[in-house]
Chains A and B, each alone.
Chain A
Amino acid sequence: MFIILLVLWLIFAGSVTVTNLLLGALVAGLITLLCTKFMGYDTGRFYRGFSKADEIVVYILYLLREIVRENLDVLRFIYRKGQPKPMLVRFYGGVQHEALRVLVANSITLTPGTYTVKLEGDEYAVHALDEYFQVDIEYSAFFKMARKVEEA
């Protein structure tokens, strides 16, 4: 968290000077200290997350590809004659970790054509613009990657 806050500070400041570095380190350190002391923030868990960096990069690249692909699919439905046949699909995701569940739900919402209406426990309710978008959504690569990270 300290490193991310410091990098954020330097990006907003616009240049890497001694003043910016010292001031940024002071503020970032203070915020990290307050978060760990009063908000139960676990710094160790954050740094352990970096061991999965390769999986995170693969996930982000796949997400970007899906966003472009589904954008084109929704475009097709916009410029085609007739209304689409929307659906609300309820299913179990099979992901245990809370943060991963939210990550997958957010990814589903980010790709046009589908969005998560409800997420309760492991139960997802996903609205799809057409039947075409909801086929095998619980077996999509988002869920597969989340389950793989969980098993590792």
Chain B
Amino acid sequence: MIRLILAALFLALGLFMFFSEVVGFYKFTYVMNRMHAAALGDTLGIGSILVAVAILTGELVPILKLVLILVFMFLTGPVTTHLIAGAEVETHKNAGHEYKEVDRR
């Protein structure tokens, strides 16, 4: 019973993170700000849902597979973010209006 409640709590947290991701996506107006909102679901959202599923299964091999999913998500997620952000900065000529540039070199 406790296991079920704990899993439900983590599942609710994950769903809330995905909901907030969508809210943030519509609230922020510029693509580079929206990507910050999109990161919520990729990290804590998927993380807590996988924890909930791991609590529900409770067996070693499926849990290891879930850990693998998380590891691959964490390894590949930043690459796509990096590529989208790089493309926006390179191609959008007036992108400078959307953010303040600070040079601390």
Q: Which residues of A approach B to under 8 Å, CB–CB?
A: 8, 11-12, 14-15, 67-68, 71, 74-75, 77-79, 83-92, 105-106, 109-113, 115-118, 123, 125, 127, 129, 134, 138
Tell whether, in the assembled complex, residue B100 and residue A74 are in contact, meaning their CB atoms are under 8 Å apart. Answer: no
Does B93 sit within 8 A of A, measured CB to CB? Answer: no
Instruction: Choose one: B29, B44, B68, B81; the contact of A67 (CB below 8 Å).
Output: B44
Total number of B residues with any Cβ neighbor in A under 8 Å:
39
Q: Is A109 touching B33 in the complex (CB atoms < 8 A)?
A: no
* Known contacts A74-B36, A116-B82, A129-B36; A110/B102 CB under 8 A: no
Instruction: Give B59 Cβ to nearest chain A Cβ, in Å.
Output: 10
User: Can you name the residue of chain B whose Cβ is closest to the Cβ of A106?
Assistant: B78
**Contact among B28, B75, B82, B104 for A115, CB-based, below 8 A:** B82
| Known pairs A117-B82, A118-B86; A71 contacts B33 (CB<8 A) | no
In the complex, A75→B40 CA distance in Å? 8
With the chains together, A106 CA to B78 CA distance in Å? 6
Partner among A11, A91, A113 whose Cβ is within 8 Å of the Cβ of B104: A91
Output the nearest chain A residue to B43 by Cβ-Cβ distance. A67
Verify B33–A129 contact, CB threshold 8 A: yes
